[in-house]
Amino acid sequence: MFADLFAVVAPVFLLALLGYGWTRRGLPFDVPGVTALVTTVGVPALIVDVLLKAELTADALAVMAGASLAVHAAFLVIGWGIVRLMNKRVSTYLPSLVFANNGNMGLPLCLFAFGEQGLALAIAYFVVGAVLMFTVGVGLAAGEVNLRMLLRTPLLWAVAAALALMAFDIALPRWVANTVHLAGAFTIPLMLITLGVSLARLKVSSLKTSLTFSVLRLAMGFSVGWGVGLAMGLEDIALGVVVIEASLPVAVFNYLWAVRYENHPEEVAGMVLLSTTLAFFALPFMLSSVL
């Protein structure tokens, strides 16, 4: 069991550590540029490549998307109660409880834990979370929903293209498929390295509050993931993917929204950094419950 857990956690930890060490040594790394490359080219290519190769039905992907929607709805309700109970600012703290790091950490963890099928299901979960982040997440941070931002999100069009190709059983020409595969292949390593770089640049300003919300994020995620998975009758890989994706730390994007809309970014940075650090220690326990 230990060898199985180590094989899943080690690649994620080591690549994130590489990014962290790279930045701590003072070496240059263009986070905005790399993030733009990953989100506009890498992730869409990965989505098309994985969904077309995965031996999954549209129904299986739809169930996973529904599970993601249910998990995020539960996070929103529970998170709202926690924030109000603790008398904290909703625009600062609620997004961090609702939106986890389903991309940078979730996709590689599901890939290493469950293979290509797990990655395909994780993508279905991740896409729903990303759509909600660019609508509800931005709405919470800015006070308004920007649908134009959603329509400019490449991953949404990548999903539409992949589903259309699947529905009509259309195969990509070999040269196109190979190009898409190569473009998608750099995505997960770059996501993990960028995560490490981002963590190295963040600082904790309010230790007690950041630690409290970090623990709440992880505990709530694990509980809700299991609750939704069992309530929907999910089993095996599907259940494992939901539990993993729900149990992850605060997404780095929450910090970016906080900076952009001036919602106490230093406090959000503390939650991102501490929740991610705690998550690496909690991962073996969480993974052992689903493997």
Q: Dump pLDDT digits (tens) for 82-134.
A: 999 999 999 999 999 999 999 989 999 999 999 999 999 999 999 999 989 88
| Whether the predicted model's global pTM rises above the 0.85 cut | yes
| Range 156-182 burial, b when 16+ CB lie within 10 A, else e | bebbeebeeebeeeeeeeeeeeeebbe
pLDDT attached to residue 140: 87
44, 224 in Cβ contact below 8 A?
no
Average pLDDT over every residue of 29-54: 93
* pLDDT attached to residue 143: 74
Report in angstroms the alpha-carbon separations of 243 from 159, 222, 238.
Answer: 23, 6, 9
Q: Please report which confidence band the pLDDT of residue 60 belongs to, taking 50, 70 and 90 as the band edges.
A: very high
Domain segments of the chain as ranges: 2-19+29-195+216-285
- 235-267: pLDDT as tens digits: 999 999 999 999 999 999 899 888 888 888 989
**Confidence band, pLDDT 50/70/90 cuts, at residue 215:** very high
Neighbouring residues of 70: CB distance < 8 A, sequence distance ≥ 6: 228, 231, 232
CA distance linking residue 176 with residue 246, whole number of Å = 34
On average, the pLDDT of the chain sits at 93
> What local confidence, expressed as pLDDT, does residue 2 receive?
74
The class that CATH gives domain 2-19+29-195+216-285 is mainly alpha
